[in-house]
Amino acid sequence: MHLSADDWSAIRLTLELASIVTVLLLIIGTPIAWWLARSRSRLRGVVGAIVSLPIVLPPTVLGFYLLVLMGPQGAIGRFTDAVGLGRLPFTFTGLVVASILYSLPFVVQPVQNAFMAMGDRPLEVAATLRASPLRTFFTVALPLARPGFITAAILGFAHTVGEFGVVLMIGGNIPDKTRVISMQIYNHVEALEYGQAHGLAALLLGFSFVVLLALYTVGGARNTLGAGR
Amino acid sequence: MSGVHVACRLPLADFVLEADLTLPGRGVTALFGPSGSGKTTLLRCVAGLARGVGRVEINGECWQDDARSFFLPTHRRALGYVFQEASLFAHLSVRANLEFGLKRIAPVERRVGWDAALELLGIGHLLERGTEALSGGERQRVAIARALLTSPRLLLMDEPLAALDARRKHEILPYLERLHDELAIPVLYVSHSPDEVARLADHLVLLEQGQVLASAPTGEVLTRLDLPLARDEEAAVRVDARVLSHDEAYQLTCLGFAGGLIQVTRKALAVGAAARIKIQARDVSIALAGDRRSSIVNRLPARIVGFGEAAHPAQCLVSLDVAGTPLLARITRLSRDQLGLVEGMMVVAQIKSVALLG
């Protein structure tokens, strides 16, 4: 199996994208998961549904709306223009933003489940031991939710590695910028380079299997895969 | 103002919890009542874990006063809370669990020392273990030590023995009794076990359907015939006594209490040591004064204070006064009538058996 320079570039770009997205998702997703797990607000259902949308939505639909929003007439596009960031479509930054939305439920749900599973008790205990709510969050809630975070990180990373539709819609196919592995496979197939496509596809297949194997043997993923609660 | 003052109102699913209590500023106060009577909720209100409306003041320190919109969140109340089930942090070792609260207490405010707490609860050998490796009784002892190490001004205990089997209970009760003897802070202790109450509580609050039926010294509440406690199969009174002497020939130990002397089988206690004893209503019978012959050793002159209904219609309860110490006897109504017992009459209380507590 021989991988070309372009293939390697796509692999490097994909790993870079997935790493950045995973880190950002853990930062963004944790407060959302906490709120969804603990809030008694009536908005909880609505927010939960919105966060979970990417699970059922065709990626092309998500990508299409993002393209519109990020474009010159879109709200996001006008905002990024105004603050001097330029336009996001067909840039790596745009891919990061889109991937965050696309993989959000895969990070939020395992963390939310972990927060819900621990219940109120550990938090109450911490309060009776003089820990402020913020301190309790960092010294009790986060450590107790660790298995949820591990699952979330693995799923978020893997799901981002495997995305295609959203990239196709807003990222295009620009080498070294937005051409990720799934795009590269598509290119090979279009050019009838089945051998090349096979190399990358097998790589993704193996990667996906190893990820799921890790999740199911380490545990914690029992009901987190695509569980639209 | 010294003492514990708790006024609390909180509508619950089936009833309104309503309490206005002034409790002793030290010693153990038991919150007693059937399941679902609001005991735990009242405790949670005191802790600030449930949001009742009212006032909470602990020996002059105000934690809550809704009249002036003052409410301290739980983490700013100097309390220790022991939950019903093991509540140790699973991600921390025993030592880290104990340090969790301790490290948030400024050294000058620490009144319970590390070594003292470990010794009091006998957990020194468990420090480096994970919490999973502990037995139920050990976990609860660690939880109690963890609460004590925050040097609380009030210790709240929510049925700390309920989740334990009988053997574990007996393993942990002596520690609670030592706690009672050595701590100078008030303890609120939720329980639905008359036995635990008799052993541990100085003051007793009786709750039913969120209402306070009684709040008085334990001996008084236990013998009040209008309250459900006296009607319980295990109804008993607790008597604080002291070891007076040992009779080696007959292998008996003589205990003295406010109402007289009681002899029990030889106990390994030093002369002068405190001994808390429990006398169950079913172990007390009544004889008319005069006849001195009986196989029962402990015969105390008593005055009949009143009669009450027992759980079974064949029986009745007699509340007795033994020179100031209240005692409860359960006899048949037939005996009552045959002996012609009436209120105010002087009789002999015959005590068949006495249980030494702790």
B75/A131 CB distance under 8 A: yes
pLDDT one-digit tens code per residue, A185-198: 999 999 999 999 99
Question: Packing angle between helix A181-190 and helix A194-218, nearest 10 degrees?
Answer: 150
Q: What is the C-alpha to C-alpha distance for residues B232 and B212, in angstroms, rounded to an integer?
A: 18
The minimum CA-CA distance between A117 and chain B, rounded to whole Å, is 13
User: How do the domains of chain B map onto residue ranges?
Assistant: 4-222, 236-241+269-357
CB pairs under 8 A between A and B: 57
pLDDT one-digit tens code per residue, B146-194: 999 999 999 999 998 887 777 777 777 778 877 777 778 899 999 988 7
Q: Which of B48, B101, B156 is nearest residue A130 as measured by Cβ atoms?
A: B101
Mutant choice from A118, A129, A142 vs B, greatest count of B C-beta within 10 A: A129
Q: What is the pLDDT of residue B256?
A: 93
Q: Which of B79, B91, B146 is nearest residue A143 as measured by Cβ atoms?
A: B91
Q: What is the pLDDT of residue A51?
A: 94
pLDDT one-digit tens code per residue, B89-133: 999 999 999 999 999 998 888 888 899 889 888 899 999 999 988
Taking alpha carbons only, the member of A35, A50, A48, A62 closest to residue A159 is: A62
Q: What is the pLDDT of residue B1?
A: 58
Mutant choice from A125, A132, A140 vs B, greatest count of B C-beta within 10 A: A125
Residue B37 reports pLDDT greater than 60: yes
Q: What is the pLDDT of residue B358?
A: 59
Q: Which of B75, B87, B104 is nearest residue A121 as measured by Cβ atoms?
A: B87
Is domain B236-241+269-357 given the CATH code 1.10.10.10 in the classification? no
H/E stretch holding B63 reads strand B61-65
Interface of B with A in 96-115 (CB under 8 A): 100-101, 104-105
Taking alpha carbons only, the member of A140, A112, A136, A153 closest to residue A30 is: A112
The minimum CA-CA distance between A217 and chain B, rounded to whole Å, is 21
- Which has the higher per-residue pLDDT, B226 or B29? B29
Asked whether B40 and B32 are in contact (CB, 8 A), the reply is no
Asked whether A51 and A108 are in contact (CB, 8 A), the reply is yes
Asked whether B244 and B256 are in contact (CB, 8 A), the reply is yes
Q: What is the pLDDT of residue A219?
A: 59
B85 pLDDT tier (thresholds 50, 70, 90): confident
State which CATH number among 3.10.105.10, 1.20.990.10, 3.30.70.260, 3.40.50.300 fits the domain covering B4-222. Answer: 3.40.50.300
B87/A146 CB distance under 8 A: no
Q: What is the C-alpha to C-alpha distance for residues B93 and A118, in angstroms, rounded to an integer?
A: 18
The minimum CA-CA distance between A131 and chain B, rounded to whole Å, is 6
pLDDT one-digit tens code per residue, B299-308: 999 999 999 9
Q: What is the pLDDT of residue A178?
A: 87
CA distances from B67 to A89, A109, B16 (A): 59, 43, 19
User: How do the domains of chain A map onto residue ranges?
Assistant: 5-218
Which alpha helices (H) appear in chain B, and where do they start and end? 39-47, 94-102, 114-121, 136-148, 166-182, 194-200, 218-222, 228-231, 333-339
Q: What fold, for A5-218? A: MetI-like fold (1.10.3720)
> Which residues of chain B are within 8 Å of residue A131 when distances are taken between CB atoms?
75, 100-101, 104
Residues of chain A scoring pLDDT < 50: 221-229
